[in-house]
Amino acid sequence: MSRNFFHIHLVSDSTGETLLTVARAVTVQYEGISAIEHIYPLVRTKAQLEKALDDIESAPGIVLYTLVDQDLNEQLEETCRNLGVPFLSVLSPVHSLLQSYLGTAATGRSGAQHVLNAEYFKRIEAMNFTLLHDDGHLPDDIEQADIILLGVSRTSKTPTSIYLANRGLKTANIPLILNVPIPEKILQARRPLIVGLVATPERIVQIRQNRLLSLNADEDTDYVDRDTVAEEISESRRLFARNNWPIIDVTRRSIEETAAAIIEKYRERRMQDVAI
């Protein structure tokens, strides 16, 4: 199927991450159409904006922007109108809603969401902890974790852990190996929320085969044997059931969906602890 392309210009006075996330979340919904992204971060002067406007004139398309400075806003909008290209201030509808509800105006600080506050340092600390505790490393201080993820190989433990760390949660992940007991310290852990990740044997085999292909490794191994993988999954499920650990099937879940389910379980756990 041939694809159609269009230009999308993302103009931001901050990092541009918000615009890029919104743009990709929407454009992916249009099958057969791809966006050619032009990103202009940290646009805070007229000279910087002029560069973006020149590109927009050279390659007309949709313009999405987040600019706090009113003069820059007006210059961008006037140029877009003159060029006949569609434009939208992505955060304006949200600001309008909040302002009408809260009865107060926004402060108008560029990149205010990226200030170095306590939440930022919490995420950095969580990321450092998570990287040091990836794939079963350093289990001795496991009681300091907020969350422990258990699962056989290729159940998305590492990327899910990284995502949770970005949300400020110290996350360790432990691989489960057939007929190999897990560290006793995991069984004794009381503070962390322990979550078991599973998937269908077919999905695990598929991911493992792709992994071996990327490494040019021999595929004649129990690692991708369907019966062996099914036994791994069954044993992991029995382990989770014996210890009453919540289970999440990641077969058809994205990393974001898996992390959201874990965060919800973590919040429920914290609320229970407070109630006690």
Task: Point out the annotated binding site for ADP.
Answer: 151-158
Distance CA 274, CA 276 (A): 5
Taking a C-beta distance cutoff of 8 angstroms, is the pair 239, 196 a contact? yes
The binding site comprises: 151-158
State how far the Cα of 6 lies from the Cα of 62, in Å rounded to an integer.
Answer: 8
Interatomic CA distance for residues 229 and 136, integer angstroms? 20
Cα 7 from Cα 37, distance rounded (Å): 6
Contact 219, 212 (CB under 8 A): yes
Beta-ladder partners of 249: 198
Q: Are strands 87-89 and 62-66 parallel, antiparallel or unpaired?
A: parallel
